[in-house]
Structure 1
Amino acid sequence: MGALTSVLDGLFLAYFIIHVPTTILVDSQSVVPAQYFPGWAKDLLQWHIKTNGDHLVSTNPLWFVSMVFCECFVQLPFFFVAAYAFIKRRNWIRIPCIIYGAHVATTMVPILTEILFSPAAGPKRVTLALIYLPYLIVPLLLVVRMAVVAQPFGPASSGRKKGGKRKAQ
């Protein structure tokens, strides 16, 4: 089990780190005015829309924009906190990860349903669903990883000694 959790923890850390520039430069274009993005970021988004037929990003329905808003202003700060906690192996991240993972998995259900079953979805619906699918699977794995043990990084990784004093680093 130790090797599997190490691999998963590496996956989660990479997921959080990679999500930062993706959220800032690509996803946030659904909620932040275009003037705040470099041309290459706007071109990258347009390439994605054209290549993968992403009708959600191209039309930005209000319900989708509300989810992207949550990504930008709730999830984005969490990515920094979670990356720090995984690097430093801090057990206090357990409950926040469960909340985050449940939130993201819940938001991905209507997104994937729209992509797969909407009349507006085009012929690239399966490809697009496969692009979005990791954003369901990784958060669900995170929830399971954090839910099965009380101290995901072991007893010595809380960052504090008994009595509430910080241990020497």
Structure 2
Amino acid sequence: MGALTSVLDALFLAYLISHIPITILVDSQIVVPAQYYPGWAKDLLQWHIKTNEDHLISTNPLWYSSMVFCECVLQLPFFFIAAYAFIKRRNWIRIPGIIYGAHVVTTMVPILTEILFSPAAGPKRVSLALIYLPYLIVPLLLVVRMAVVAQPFGASSGRKKGGKRKAQ
């Protein structure tokens, strides 16, 4: 299982790091006034809406805005902390990782349901759902990865040279 966990950990790290600019420059436009964004970021969001017929972002229902607000306030700081933990292989990320993953999986269920089954969804509903799907799958995999063992990075995680254990 060592190779699989290494691949998963690399996937999680890439997901966390890539999610930082996505949240700051794209997703947050739903809850932060437009004047705070460069023109190219606003154009990118408008391109996504038009190309993928993303009715959730274009109509911006209150329930969706509240989820994006949580992404900006709760998840964005987590991305930095978790990226650090994955780079340094810190076991203390286990419980926060489970909490984060469960939160995101829970929010993605109504989002994907809306995209796939809403009368407002257009003919590109399946391709739009495929764009959103990694944001369900990766957090779900993170929950499983963190839940299966008490020390996701092993007992030696956090040891200094010389064998003394650092506080985690």
TM over 0.5: yes
The within-5 A match list for 1:17-56 is 17-56=17-56
Q: Distance in 2 between matches of 1:71 and 1:118?
A: 23
Q: What is the identity, as a one-letter code, of the residue corresponding to 2:46?
A: Q
Spell out, residue by residue over 1:76-107, the C-alpha distance to the aligned partner (whole angstroms, 9 max, x if none). Answer: 00000000000000000000000000000000
The aligned counterpart of 1:135 is: 135
1:6 match: 6
Unaligned segments of structure 1, at least 5 residues: none
* Residue 110 of structure 1: aligned partner: 110
Whether the 8 Å contact between 1:23 and 1:71 is mirrored in structure 2 is yes
C-alpha contact (below 8 Å) 2:31/2:65 kept by paired residues: yes
Q: Which runs of 4+ in 1 moved over 6 A?
A: none
**Equivalent residue, structure 2, for 1:86:** 86
Tell me how far 1:156 sits from its aligned partner. 1.2
What do the CA deviations read for 1:20-76 (whole angstroms, capped 9, x no partner)? 000000000000000000000000000000000000001100000000000000000
Please say if residues 94 and 146 of structure 1, whose CA atoms lie closer than 8 Å, have aligned partners that are also in contact. yes
- How far does residue 11 in structure 1 lie from its aligned partner after superposition? 0.1
Give the aligned residue type for 2:20. V
Identity %, equivalent residues: 84
Q: Secondary structure at the match of 2:154?
A: coil
Q: Distance in 1 between matches of 2:165 and 2:44?
A: 48
Asked if the contact 1:90/1:159 (under 8 Å) is kept, the reply is no
Normalised TM-score (structure 2)? 0.95
Counterpart contact for 2:158–2:165, Cα < 8 Å: no
CA drift of 1:124 comes to 0.4
Match of 1:16 in 2: 16
Cα deviation digits, residues 123-169 of structure 1 (max 9, x gap): 000000000000000000000000000000000114579xx9738xx
Alpha-carbon RMSD across the aligned residues, in angstroms, is: 1.5
Q: Aligned equivalents of 2:61 and 2:51: distance in 1?
A: 20
For structure 2, which runs of at least 5 residues remain unmatched after alignment?
A: none
